[in-house]
Structure 1
Amino acid sequence: MLASRGPALCTALRRAAPGGLASFHCSARRHRPARVAVVLSGCGVYDGTEIHEASAILVHLSRGGAEVQMYAPDVPQMHVIDHSKGQPAEAESRNVLVESARIARGKIASLAKLTTADHDAVIFPGGFGAAKNFLCCISPVLAAKVLSGAEVTVGHEEEEGGKWPYAGTAGAIKELGGKHCVKEVTEAHVDTKNKVVTTPAFMCETQLHHIFDGIGAMVKNVLKLTGK
């Protein structure tokens, strides 16, 4: 899970991302309460946004008094997964924005309309949709790809008997020039230079409340960075 504030990430995203981010303007406007954009990538862990992560983010943002606007790219999904089987649903096509609206309860806008002039921070929930429908890989890798030397975490760097099944992602972060910081699932890492906050979330096989607590730590640090 990835969250960021400030012009650095949005400048890099505008260079690296597909046309849907062409209108992502890089300026900042200070308001109270904090105004946070949440960018979704569909609905469902294997082909879109991880629903529990998105819900936890929204709960913690609400508790923190933030104003939230959700966005998603208005593009076809890479593919559709039958989550009961974990396999692609052949000959089925879905739209990322339409699917994301399920999580947003209909209150969502096209990612093309997102500008940093309207927000103090942006949060990208995890899920394989961040890999398949945005840029390269699970959302912290997004920061490593577009911000040279960014510090992020996806948890641990060894699988540890299956507790961290996606530990290899740390290697991908390093290959992209990022710095991986080992953290527990209940923790968040703050890259103060780039104003990027990450937490492992479902990179770890653990109880749901631990993931919820880690997301809470991430949101708390994001709101702290906004100064609101």
Structure 2
Amino acid sequence: MKVGVLLAGCGVFDGAEIHEATLTLYFLDREGVEIVCMAPDIPQKEVINHLNGEKMNETRNVLVEAARIARGNIKNINEVSADEIDALIMPGGYGVAKNFSNFLEKGAEADVIPEVKRLLVEMFQKGKPIGAVCISPVIVAAALREAKAKLTIGSDEQVAKAIEAMGQQHLVCPVSEALVDEEHKIVSTPAYMEGKTIKDVAEGIEKLVKEVLRLAGKQ
């Protein structure tokens, strides 16, 4: 079984959240599945100094930065189709909202970049499971507006309202759990939208991975 892991760069404030990404990779590897890391070959929206939170005057590439987490074993998302993987999981981080969409600017009216939207739509149309961690459900909601899927980002009212305005159903969920939409084969967990430490987010991500693999048919 092959599971895609879609990364938005490297670092919570401008890329993929490293704890969430690493936990996802760990729990997938523990289950013995083949992992296909991927990212779009695009410039980051911005680069943030993670020491002081200030914006830096430099440019970085999402695929190149994501390769740090994947230890270099990563593909351009344009080289991956839904036919090649059995499921897809997207860790969170501000980079998901910043690099994959204009959600921070447009909220419920957000558009998803073509590279990411194409694969999410392919997975959905083929009935293959999608896992969305932390803020990632907003990307799923924006890309699959006709789905009327059940999603969670925890309990953040503003983001929840945006998800519902996109035509989806938002349900409150604790960090230790994963919400499963059986009909649409979409699993989501709040992770750092609710959790304070890595041990908090690990429990929900572990459950998300197990549910995604179950929906993909892994016994």
| Superposition TM-score, scaled by structure 1 size | 0.78
Q: Does 1:79 align with 2:76?
A: no
Is the contact made by 2:175 and 2:195 (CA closer than 8 Å) also made in structure 1? Answer: no
1:180–1:136 distance in 2 versus 1, CA, 3 Å:
farther
Letter in 1 for 2:65: E
* 2:66 paired residue number: 100
CA deviation digits over 1:158-211, x for unaligned, max 9?
xxxxxxxxx421111111111101111010011112111100000014232120
Q: How many angstroms apart in 2 are the aligned matches of 1:136 and 1:197?
A: 23
Where do 4+ consecutive residues of structure 1 move more than 4 Å?
Answer: none
Is the contact made by 1:155 and 1:185 (CA closer than 8 Å) also made in structure 2? Answer: yes
Q: Does 1:218 align with 2:208?
A: yes
Q: How many angstroms apart in 2 are the aligned matches of 1:55 and 1:210?
A: 14
In the alignment, which of 112, 119, 139 is matched to residue 142 of structure 1? 139
Superposition RMSD on alpha carbons, in Å? 1.1
Q: How many angstroms apart in 2 are the aligned matches of 1:206 and 1:43?
A: 19
Paired residue total: 185
Q: How many angstroms apart in 2 are the aligned matches of 1:93 and 1:46?
A: 14
| Superposition TM-score, scaled by structure 2 size | 0.82
Seq. identity, %: 48
Letter in 2 for 1:55: T
Unaligned runs of 5+ in 1: 1-33, 158-166
Is the contact made by 2:5 and 2:37 (CA closer than 8 Å) also made in structure 1? Answer: yes
CA deviation digits over 1:2-46, x for unaligned, max 9?
xxxxxxxxxxxxxxxxxxxxxxxxxxxxxxxx2100010100001
Higher helix share: 2
Is the contact made by 1:145 and 1:178 (CA closer than 8 Å) also made in structure 2? Answer: no
Unaligned runs of 5+ in 2: 104-134
Letter in 2 for 1:106: G
